[in-house]
């Protein structure tokens, strides 16, 4: 009989180990940092990123798990005899710039899947490491925040909505025309700098939508939040309304719109579509 694995308990242990491992490094962030090269996702690696990844792998290995790691830092790595049994897709620290600058908004993100594809993700954790708030989800079992079931907001009015938009891109002129009408209709635009966590804010009703159409976000950053959004009952599709069917790979990029409910989702997609048609 295949071994029953309590993924949520293991993911929470990973998170606790990440906190333990990065804690001594937090005090050293103002000192000059060693040059550790570029990670698989294309950004410079920092000691905290590597320490967090090490903590995740160490915890999984302690449970004798066989898996393929899909990480923003080390890329693809195989562990155990049958590494294709499980895929662990992680952004060990999402929001590294926030962390290094002392902005209290950064997370660890871990997704478990049976294949290296988004639609096979079946267990997930995103944890706000500063405030110690943990979001988890399991396929068919709902999404939880510190163990309590979450539901997205019922707000359908764009004018009242809190909308996250990531416009953090050198090629911003490519997306601004598509976003103009949406921005003109809203009063509360936000971007906090850790997209995994910002997606969880849609899942639990803290915000009403989160949009990233830059074509720049890696699937390692959103794989876990995708399940949390879905299990909470919120919506998340491509900017043209298609289901997200993407490979889990540190180099794979993704664009999406996540909304609290279908009405809000359609309103946003229509505004994005309209602008694209006018280009
Ligand atoms: C970053 C954050 C940020 C987004 C960047 C991501 P990282 O993740 O999610 O909000 O604008 O595109 O790379 O690099 O801190 O893991
Ligand atoms: Ca990262």
Whether residues 184 and 274 share a domain: the answer is yes
Please name the residue whose Cα sits nearest to atom 13 of ligand 1. 217
CATH code at 95?
3.30.540.10
Q: Residues 169, 192: one domain?
A: yes
Per-residue model confidence as pLDDT tens digits over 13-40 = 999 999 999 999 998 887 777 888 888 8
pLDDT in tens, 150-204: 999 999 999 999 999 999 987 888 898 899 999 999 999 999 999 999 999 999 9
Which atom number of ligand 1 is nearest to the Cα of residue 193?
10
Domain boundary among 132, 149, 166: 149
Q: Is residue 89 part of a domain?
A: yes
Q: Which of 118, 149, 180 is the last residue of a domain?
A: 149
Query: Where does a domain end: 149, 174, 200?
Result: 149
pLDDT score recorded for residue 37: 84
The reply to whether 29 falls in a domain is yes
On whether residue 1 sits in a domain, the answer given is no
Q: Would the CA dihedral through 133, 147, 264, 257 be positive or negative?
A: positive
Average pLDDT over residues 33-56: 87
Q: Please indicate whether residue 195, judged by its CB atom, sits closer than 6 Å to ligand 1.
A: yes
| Same domain flag for 52 and 170 | no
Residues 115 and 180 in one domain: no
The neighbour count for residue 4, using CB atoms within 10 Å, is: 6
Answer yes or no: is 16 within a domain. Answer: yes
The region of weakest confidence among 148-157, 231-240, 254-263, 269-278 is: 269-278
Q: State residue 243's pLDDT score.
A: 98
pTM: 0.95
Q: Encode pLDDT of 127-147 as tens digits.
A: 999 999 999 999 999 999 999
Instruction: For residue 2, tell me if it sits in a domain.
Output: no
Mean pLDDT of the chain: 94
CATH number, domain containing residue 203: 3.40.190.80
The whole-number pLDDT of residue 36 equals 82
Residues 6+ apart with CB under 8 A from 40: 71, 72, 73, 74, 75, 76, 250, 251
Summarize pLDDT for 94-108 with one digit per residue, the tens. 999 999 999 999 999
- Tell me the CA–centroid distance for residue 95 and ligand 2, in Å: 6
Give the pLDDT band of residue 43 (cuts 50, 70, 90). confident
Pull the structure tokens for residue 165.
């938009």
Report the alpha-carbon distance of residue 84 to residue 62 in Å, rounded.
18
Looking at the fold, whether 216 and 268 belong to one and the same domain comes out as yes
Residue range of the domain that includes 138:
7-149
Mark whether 14 and 76 lie in a shared domain: yes
Q: Is the predicted pLDDT of residue 8 greater than 90, yes or no?
A: yes
Q: Is 194 in the pocket of ligand 1 (CB under 6 A)?
A: yes
Q: Is 172 helix (H, G, I), strand (E, B) or coil?
A: coil
Please check whether residues 233 and 189 belong to one and the same domain.
Answer: yes
Identify the pLDDT of residue 191: 97
User: Exposure pattern of 238-267 as b/e (b: 16+ CB <10 Å)?
Assistant: bbeeeebebebbbebebbbbbbbbeebbeb
């Amino acid at each position: 009989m295949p071994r029953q694995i309590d993924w949520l308990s293991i993911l929470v242990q990973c998170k606790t180990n990440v906190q333990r491992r990065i804690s001594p490094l937090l005090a050293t962030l103002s000192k000059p940092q060693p040059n550790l090269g570029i990670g698989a996702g294309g950004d410079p690696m920092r000691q905290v990123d590597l320490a967090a990844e090490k903590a995740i792998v160490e915890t999984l290995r302690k449970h004798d798990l066989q898996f393929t790691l899909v990480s923003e830092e080390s890329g693809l790595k195989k562990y155990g005899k049958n590494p294709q049994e499980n895929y662990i897709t992680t952004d060990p620290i999402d929001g590294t710039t926030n962390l290094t600058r002392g902005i209290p908004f950064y997370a660890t993100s871990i997704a478990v899947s049976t294949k290296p594809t988004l639609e096979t993700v079946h267990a997930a954790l995103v944890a706000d490491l500063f405030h110690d708030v943990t979001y988890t989800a399991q396929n068919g079992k709902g999404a939880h925040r510190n163990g309590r079931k979450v539901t997205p907001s019922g707000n359908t009015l764009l004018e009242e909505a809190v909308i996250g938009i990531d416009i953090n891109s050198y090629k911003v002129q490519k997306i601004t025309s598509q976003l103009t009408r949406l921005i003109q209709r809203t009063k509360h635009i936000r971007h906090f700098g850790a997209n995994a966590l910002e997606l969880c804010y849609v899942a639990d009703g803290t915000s009403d939508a989160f949009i990233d159409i830059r074509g720049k976000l890696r699937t390692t950053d959103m794989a876990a939040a995708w399940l949390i959004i879905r299990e909470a009952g919120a919506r998340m599709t491509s900017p043209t309304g298609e289901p997200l069917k993407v490979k889990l790979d540190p180099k794979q990029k993704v664009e999406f719109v996540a909304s609290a409910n279908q009405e809000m989702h359609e309103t946003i997609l229509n505004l994005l579509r309209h602008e694209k048609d006018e280009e």
